[in-house]
Amino acid sequence: MSAEIKVPQLGESVVEATVGRWLKSEGDAVAVGDPLVELETDKVNMEVPSTAEGTLQSIVKPEGETVGIGDVIALIAERESEDGARAPREVAPAETPTAGAPDQPASRSSPVGAEAAHPADSAQDDGHESRATPLARRVAAEQDVDLNQVTGTGPSGRVRKDDVAAYLERQDATAAAVSPRPDTAPPTEVLSADQARAISASLPPLETDEGRREERVRMSRRRQTIAQRLVEAQHNAAMLTTFNEVDMTAIIDLRKRRRDAFKERHGVSLGFMSFFTRAVIGALKAYPRLNAEIQGNEIILKHYYDIGVAVGAEEGLVVPVVRDADRLTFAEIEREIATLAEKARNNTLSLSELQGGTFTITNGGVYGSLLSTPILNAPQVGILGMHKVEQRPIALNGEVVIRPMMYVALSYDHRIVDGNEAVRFLVRVKELLEDPETLLLEG
């Protein structure tokens, strides 16, 4: 018998996902708990494990398809006994071979319900059932393609959907090259902008005589969400950015003096982030509108400090949240940020670790950025951008000296934060960072 693999609960308020990458292929042996597929949600990716032992009989939902909670995404042909025998592939009653008939391969069953076989299937299934994926067979049947003519690029020469598509493209190109050119050109059709974009999106990658190529890559669900929310933030907020610079001499000297003892005692390195987190909290207490959000015609002032820390992951930027950061010591802040960053890199962040947040800090300096204008993390109304520390000449007490300087940027929502308030907030952050001993007095 076959066991159904369904989409599990995806987390609070998440009702659908995109099938990202299948980790097993049809015909692979699987055990209970083996990861089968990655599902992409708006915030995190998750692996769906097998709930049965046997063979991956059918992939019902291919990569790139949108699925909902409870949807069947795969079928597992379960083992019948302890000796390793597997259950036969599930077939529809009409497809079961009649008694006394010679052994023939059964016709494939549709993953979305029984459908009439395409006339071309009989020729394709004769000895080629195992060398083509179900999706490739379906596309070949729809396009009346003989799989004998298609070169497979999958494991052991297995034909995939992309192989069928490439074969069709070559056939089209050949047909276009040998077709006679008409004596008179047809009337030119004027296309709308939407029609032109639709046609452009359907065109194959461009290849010129110089060998330049274009590649069309599916945007991950997380990247789609990032794009949508960044555009929404710019459209829905009156966003403005103010800048300042911080002399990092005091913090760098303090880290040099305390670094080894700090790590030995707490098991974590003393970085810049704990200083900036504490400085932001001190400034937020002085200017609480930057720790707020807008709901309708009301301002929600938040008297707690959940600081989001932007982390660059392989599939896009994520912002895990350090909860109640005002109650944490320097070591606890550094330890929490290190843990969240590691989870982001391993793609193991939970939804609860990404939700909420009252203010965000982003550090483009780790990538070498000297200056930038960060975009708000809606519905928050403030975000602080850190940048690269660079030795620069400055005027100090009437003399030119070389100091480690960092530009800082504050983007804010001008709807509820006035310019003078934003400027004073950033000046307060600067003051606390340049005299880090005062950070102990701000908690």
Both tokens of 22, joined, read 């299948």
Residue closest to 338 by CA, chosen among 281, 279, 385, 268: 268
Secondary structure class of 270 (helix, strand, coil): coil
Distance CA 274, CA 307 (A): 11
363, 375, 359: which is closest to 239 by C-alpha? 375
What residues pair up with 308 in beta bridges, in sequence order?
A: 321, 360
Which of 126, 146, 260, 414 is catalytic? The answer is 414
| Rounded Cα–Cα distance for residues 115 and 124 (Å) | 17
In the three-class reduction of DSSP (H, G, I as helix; E, B as strand; rest coil), residue 214 is classed as coil
3-class secondary-structure state, position 298: strand
Catalytic residue among 28, 146, 418, 435: 418
**What span, in angstroms and rounded, lies between the C-alpha atoms of 233 and 429?**
24
Please report the sign of the dihedral spanned by the C-alpha atoms of residue 286, residue 290, residue 291, residue 295. positive
Q: Is 426 helix (H, G, I), strand (E, B) or coil?
A: helix
DSSP assignment of 348-413 equals ---GGGTS--SEEEEEGGGGT-S---PPP-TT-SEEEEE---EEEEEEETTEEEEEEEEEEEEEEE
Q: How far apart (Å, rounded) are the C-alpha atoms in residues 58 and 56?
A: 6
211: Cβ–Cβ under 8 A, 6 or more apart, which residues? none
Q: 253 CB contacts (<8 Å, ≥6 apart)?
A: none
State the residue for tokens 């707020």: 292
Q: What's the half-sphere exposure (Cβ side, CA atoms, 13 Å) at 155?
A: 7
Is 266 among the residues known to form the active site?
Answer: no
In sign, the C-alpha dihedral spanning 40, 42, 44, 46 is: negative
Q: Is 414 a catalytic site residue?
A: yes
Structure-block tokens of residue 149: 């003519």
Which residues are known catalytic residues? 414, 418
